Amino acid sequence: MSDDIPPSTSAQKKSWLEKVSQLFQGEPQNRNDLVDVIHGAELREVISQDTREMINGVLEVSDLRVRDIMIPRAQIVALQIDDSVTELLSTVIGTAHSRFPVINEDKDHIEGILLAKDLLQYGFKNSDEPFSLRQVIRPAVVVPESKRVDVLLKEFRSQRYHMAIVVDEYGGVSGLVTIEDILEEIVGEIEDEFDHDTTEETEIRKISKLVYMIKALTPIEEFNETFNTQFSDEEFDTVGGLVSHAFGHLPERNEKVLIGDIEFTVVSADTRRLLQLRIKLPDPDAEEKNE
């Protein structure tokens, strides 16, 4: 009876790793030969396109340095060590990141790394209780720009951390890198349920009764309709353009400006434009008391 049982599928088919190992019996002499062998394997359907792309990604990562994949200093969303819980939660919710560098004064003074999950519990406690971000931040790992990416990936895995601060040869902060940045070089773009849809450029989200988070590309017309304001859209089309003009320069994170009776705070920006803004509307109850 046992002779009538067909061999299992796994026994009939070799794994793709075994097939790839067979391809290398010709001993490629250099990187180009190896790439050609892998490409030929895909053409002969020995491996899939996804497998070929992943192998190529691994080969490319071995040549990269941290400076090649890091998030530049100007695009780092950092938290100030003396920010209140409300300010911290607004930034965490507005950016949807899971980890943040915590700074003192400027980005060259890194105090540590905050995991968003470590902060959320304080949002539900009595706001009168004393709070210090130093209670919850974790030590920051610092790596040089010249570090090899494959070596850093191994350290990420073995030491179980997910973010590192990148410094230049003079010790100044030049960027940051995460384990996700490295993996994306191998497997392609990684998106999760918390990533922003870049097609949704006109998002307005309520944080509290008077505080909202908005994208800088929100049209002024939509802003006026939402908040019953009368900002002119003749010179600028977006709220970001209006706010940049009010500053007179491209502002950095946490800079504030009052336009009319609305306070605008920069949550994030890159080297060319504003990205996220937090607005605080005037308190009607306070106005009534003043009257």
Pairing label, strands 163-167, 204-206: unpaired
Which whole-number Å values give the CA distances from 247 to 79, 148, 257, in the listed order? Answer: 21, 40, 7
Percentage of the chain with pLDDT > 70? 76
Count of CB atoms situated within 10 Å of the CB of 285? 10
- Residue with the bigger pLDDT between 94 and 274: it is 274
State how far the Cα of 187 lies from the Cα of 271, in Å rounded to an integer.
28
Query: Does position 155 have pLDDT exceeding 80, yes or no?
Result: yes
Query: Does position 16 have pLDDT exceeding 80, yes or no?
Result: no
State how far the Cα of 243 lies from the Cα of 256, in Å rounded to an integer.
9
> Hey, where are the domains in the chain?
14-63, 67-187, 204-290
State how far the Cα of 59 lies from the Cα of 244, in Å rounded to an integer.
43
State how far the Cα of 211 lies from the Cα of 214, in Å rounded to an integer.
10
* Mean per-residue pLDDT of the chain: 79
Domain 67-187 shares a fold with domain 204-290: no
98 in helix, strand or coil? coil
Query: Does position 196 have pLDDT exceeding 50, yes or no?
Result: no
Query: Does position 237 have pLDDT exceeding 80, yes or no?
Result: yes
**Class (C level, CATH) for 67-187:** alpha beta
What is the pTM for the complete model shown? 0.57
The CATH code belonging to domain 204-290 is 3.30.465.10
